[in-house]
Amino acid sequence: MKINCHYLLIAFTLFALSGCSSTQSSDWDIPTSTKVEINIESVSDQKPNVIIIMADDLGKAELSSFGATQISTPNIDKIGANGVVFNDAYVTSPVCAPSRAAILTGKYQQRYGFETQPMEFYPNSKIKHSLAKKAKRLGDWTVVTEPIYPRKEMLEHQGIPVSETSLAEIYQKAGYKTALIGKWHLGFGPEHLPQNRGFDYHYGFLGAFSRYTEEEKTPGYHTFIQDDFSSKYQWKVGRTKNAKILENGKEIIEKEYLTFAFANKAKMFISENKDDNFFMMLNFNAPHVPFQAPDEYYNQFDHIKDENQRVYLAMIKALDDGIGQVMNHLEKLNILENTIVYFISDNGGASYTKATKNEPLKGGKLTLFEGGINVPFMMQWKGTIPAGTKYNAAVSALDIFPTSLNASQIKNTNQTPLDGVDLIPFITKKKEGIPHETLYWRCDHVRAIRHKNWKMVLSTRDNWLHLYNLDSDKGETIDLSELNNLERKNLTEFFEAWNKDLPTKPLWPRIMDRKFIIGEKVYYFPA
């Protein structure tokens, strides 16, 4: 579930007072950019299809392939069993939209200013901003930024700058049929709509969330609404605003449970293009809030006494079945062996829903501890990747971009350098070494770096810093920052060398932090 700035910011309109003075500033005018031409070099007519299946807020703790005991996920597990399971995989952000931007571009999203979630509204007066900062109804969400925001007309320019080339645009240029099915969350203005960023076909919603059925109380479905400001707001929005279901720009009244609707649209697209090459992003919104599951799945977990967790697990079970339907369809059409399939989550489990804990990893979504950024990731390509492969070195979601294009023998000659690497030579042991010695994260005032087995997490604003040895302490329980000054110094220098080449601020501001109590310590992470 995506409980990020979006929903909260929209809800600030509840505080609206007419006649208030504007706090918007030209300091946050979002610059537009110019499209870069795509020049394709292709050296082979034999190209695989590519499918990226993405879950939303799914941690490793809820997949049986990573040790879950309360749920079985055979269809997702099968992707890894038929290919490779990456045991130490990272995304570039602990929140949805920036993480997805990096996957689609193969670059750290901070390089082009996509550091925070796209916004639909800001508290655009000093009074609204002041009321929002004082609002007790926000609970653990807190307004922390100054009342200086983009002008309203600039909000539609939030998204991956058009000067950045998406993976879909390259495949489209190379003659592939392309589709985005499910959640987008990478901009809602005309220049950022999926069909203008390389996708021939789009079915899904543009924002951060959508309800799984048309109504909150739908016969045959079980719902759970957390006592949380953002969760309640998402239920209220339902399928309006950017949560409405669209098919190539036209609003659709979808009566099927959304997880299965997305699976069926994916099957339809595959059938229609089985004789052509295709690239598809299948972005499920499960198990993101709002929590809603068919009774037939809810009833499978009657041994779970916690209703919140029971609905959550039922949603994941339905997700697993939806993915199984898609994979079985590929096999039925006899194109599975010519199709690369990835499965990944956009970030770790949302522990603040109290439906998951991400254990043994620390923290969860929004945090830069392992629970927020170390995610389930697996891949299959029959005939190329040996079945049952386990890969233990650190990999990144950034690697999907170059791995896919190299497998397809497609190159964009105008492509600026990527941050990801081709994983297949490492998986197949044709290349020695490890894909990444160093990985970086920057989310406003919170930063992190992993170099080999060392990881440092810190807040530049709140003045805390932790250093962990992940080889011996994957759960990040022992802070070694006071004992290992040399490692702390080295990681600081590595991070600053990377950070100095990035824009000093994102293209648009964020608004909120969320409070977390982990162990006995209080943290505030950007939302």
Q: What is the pLDDT of residue 23?
A: 57
Q: Is the pLDDT of residue 45 over 80?
A: no
Q: How do residues 334-349 score in pLDDT, each as one tens digit?
A: 999 999 999 999 999 9
Q: How do residues 368-391 score in pLDDT, each as one tens digit?
A: 999 999 999 999 999 999 999 999
| Element holding 522 (H helix, E strand) | strand 521-526
Q: Return all residues near 361 (Cβ < 8 A) that are at least 6 apart.
A: 59, 60, 61, 348, 369, 370, 371, 374, 474, 475, 476
Q: What is the pLDDT of residue 25?
A: 59
Closest CA relative to residue 527, chosen from 240, 145, 184 = 145
Asked if residue 102 lies in contact with residue 398, where contact means CB atoms within 8 angstroms, the answer is yes
Which tokens go with 287? 């198990």
Q: How confident is the model at residue 3 (pLDDT cuts 50, 70, 90)?
A: very low
Q: Is the pLDDT of residue 279 over 50?
A: yes
Instruction: Give the pLDDT mean for 507-515.
Output: 94
Which tokens go with 403? 């791995």
Alpha-carbon torsion 448, 352, 359, 78, what sign?
A: negative
Please state, in angstroms and rounded to a whole number, the distance separating the CA atoms of residues 214 and 160. Answer: 30
Mean pLDDT estimate for the chain? 93
Q: What is the pLDDT of residue 518?
A: 96
Asked if residue 369 lies in contact with residue 470, where contact means CB atoms within 8 angstroms, the answer is no
Please state, in angstroms and rounded to a whole number, the distance separating the CA atoms of residues 6 and 296. Answer: 32
Q: What is the pLDDT of residue 20?
A: 42
Q: Compute and round to an integer the Cα radius of gyration of the chain.
A: 22
* H-state helical runs in 107-257: 126-134, 167-173, 229-237
Torsion angle of the four alpha carbons 307, 99, 364, 323, in this order, in degrees rounded to the nearest 10: 40
Alpha-carbon torsion 159, 164, 167, 169, what sign?
A: positive
Please state, in angstroms and rounded to a whole number, the distance separating the CA atoms of residues 104 and 419. Answer: 12
Q: How confident is the model at residue 131 (pLDDT cuts 50, 70, 90)?
A: confident
Q: Is the pLDDT of residue 10 over 90?
A: no
Helix (H/G/I), strand (E/B), else coil: 66 = helix
The CATH number that domain 55-117+153-366+382-435 falls under is 3.40.720.10
Q: What is the pLDDT of residue 129?
A: 87
Q: Is the pLDDT of residue 152 over 90?
A: no
